[in-house]
Homo-oligomer: A and B are copies of this chain.
Amino acid sequence: MSAERLARVALSVAAEPGDPTFTGLVRELGAAELVRALTENPDHSDLLSRVAGRLAGVDPRAVLDRAARSGIRFVVPGDDEWPTGLEDLAGAGAVNERGGVPVGLWVRGPGRLADLAGAVAVVGSRSATSYGTRVAADLAAVVGHAGVPVVSGAAFGIDYAAHRGALSADAPTVAVLACGVDRVYPTAHRPLLDHLAERHLVVSEAPPGAAPHRIRFLARNRLIAALSRGTVVVEAAARSGSLNTLHWAQRMHRVAMGVPGPVTQATSEGVHHQLRLGGAALVTGGRDVLELVGAAGEHLTDAPRGRATARDGLRVREQQVLDAVPVARQASTASIAVVAGLAEAEVDRTLRLLAGHGLVAEVAGGWRLAAGLECGP
């Protein structure tokens, strides 16, 4: 067991997840060197000396052993399983905020972290509407069905729907928690989290046993974005925490996406604001998401085509004549010819052909549109 790995375990326990002082120092010095400096030199700032004090009480081998007995492993940079995308977190943070590359990740489940490189994060409001949960589940199912893992936070609402949608497509899905991976939050999601730990992956930057604190949710959000090629927000009110996840995706130049909803719903207000600002691309479902996160040309979507109509098969001249039949009453062949700008004989011939397609009907004194076509375009 390398000194660096043990030092990362110790720091993971002693320092707060995503504390920028420590993620920064680890990046500068390496974990082993930082732990050595903290242990040997008592002359620190308030924060450093408090962490140094905690470090003294941590036995990293015992922590790892205890974790292993619960089926939990600790993954650090350099491991095969380490998702190199996390390195984009270096320097992506802002002042006064959690940030930086985590010292390591605590992981439960048979999945392989590094396989998430092409994943899509699906996040959104905890107070989701039935519209939002339906859209999130469908979107995750389509994305998952294409073999793309779905990352989310196991929260109520959109997160839960996203995991459930992926599972319904028998697709890999990963929960990134703000608490230890041996804890369950929210407690109602124990069956989901147990299932993910058994078949997929549950991940956290916080050590086993850590409780969920608001500040840890903010630290966690950056990991959801960093573990994914793109982040979709399905519903988010103006100040939803899921917008924080979207901002991380933006800062790391990942694909930022939002699903619109009714403008009358506060739950879509935050998404619409991002779409207006151009901070996120509008997606209407899983196929749009795949098109944006896939390799160029891999998952191209068609433009929406609408319902096919009888008009579709017509030649230009035939459409021209059909369009010249009044929408609300009958007209003579002569008057239709004037409107169409075509010769009367040709119009007469064409009208008979259109009647054969059931598009117009001959009536006393002329022609009229068939039932169902009697309205403007």
Interface residues of A in 272-295 (CB under 8 A from B): 272-273, 275-276, 281-285, 288
Stretch at the interface among A35-43, A108-116, A301-309: A301-309
Band of interface residues on A: 35 or more
Interface centre among A281, A284, A340 (most CB of B within 10 A): A284
- Whether A217 contacts B331 in the complex (CB less than 8 A), given A46-B343, A275-B282, A304-B273, comes out as no
Stretch at the interface among A65-73, A76-84, A208-216: A208-216
Chain B residue numbers with a CB within 8 Å of A364 are: none
Q: Contact: A323 with B214, CB < 8 Å?
A: yes
- Whether A377 contacts B214 in the complex (CB less than 8 A), given A135-B264, A261-B263, A282-B275, comes out as yes
Interface residues of A in 295-320 (CB under 8 A from B): 303-307, 316, 320
- Whether A214 contacts B322 in the complex (CB less than 8 A), given A135-B264, A264-B134, comes out as yes
Stretch at the interface among A144-152, A189-197, A238-246, A349-357: A238-246
One digit per residue, 1 when the CB lies within 8 angstroms of any chain B CB and 0 when it does not, for chain A 328-342 equals: 110100000011110
Chain B residue numbers with a CB within 8 Å of A205 are: none
Chain B residue numbers with a CB within 8 Å of A239 are: 305-307
- Whether A316 contacts B273 in the complex (CB less than 8 A), given A212-B326, A305-B238, A306-B237, comes out as no
One digit per residue, 1 when the CB lies within 8 angstroms of any chain B CB and 0 when it does not, for chain A 105-128 equals: 000000000000000000000100
A160 at interface by CB-CB < 8 Å:
no
Interchain CB contact (< 8 A) of A262 among B244, B261, B341 = B261
- Whether A339 contacts B262 in the complex (CB less than 8 A), given A241-B376, A288-B276, A376-B241, comes out as no
> Measured between alpha carbons, how far is A343 from B178 in the docked complex, in Å?
23
How close is A45's CB to chain B, nearest CB, in angstroms? 10
Please tell me how many copies of the chain the complex holds. Answer: 2
Chain B residue numbers with a CB within 8 Å of A241 are: 376-377
Chain B residue numbers with a CB within 8 Å of A135 are: 262-264
Interchain CB contact (< 8 A) of A376 among B134, B178, B272 = B178
How close is A133's CB to chain B, nearest CB, in angstroms? 12
Q: Contact: A217 with B377, CB < 8 Å?
A: yes
Q: Contact: B263 with A259, CB < 8 Å?
A: yes
Interchain CB contact (< 8 A) of A304 among B46, B269, B285, B328 = B269
Q: Contact: A213 with B259, CB < 8 Å?
A: no
Q: Which residue of B lies closest to A288 (CB)?
A: B276
One digit per residue, 1 when the CB lies within 8 angstroms of any chain B CB and 0 when it does not, for chain A 25-50 equals: 00000000000000000000011001
A7 at interface by CB-CB < 8 Å:
no
Interchain CB contact (< 8 A) of A282 among B19, B282, B324 = B282
Q: Contact: B339 with A215, CB < 8 Å?
A: yes
Interface centre among A135, A263, A273, A341 (most CB of B within 10 A): A263
* B-binding residues in A (CB < 8 A): 16, 19, 21, 46-47, 50, 54, 96, 126, 131, 134-135, 155, 178, 185-187, 211-218, 237-239, 241, 244, 259-264, 266, 268-270, 272-273, 275-276, 281-285, 288, 303-307, 316, 320, 322-329, 331, 338-341, 343, 375-377
CB<8 Å pairs between A and B, sample of 5: A186-B375, A213-B325, A213-B339, A263-B285, A269-B306
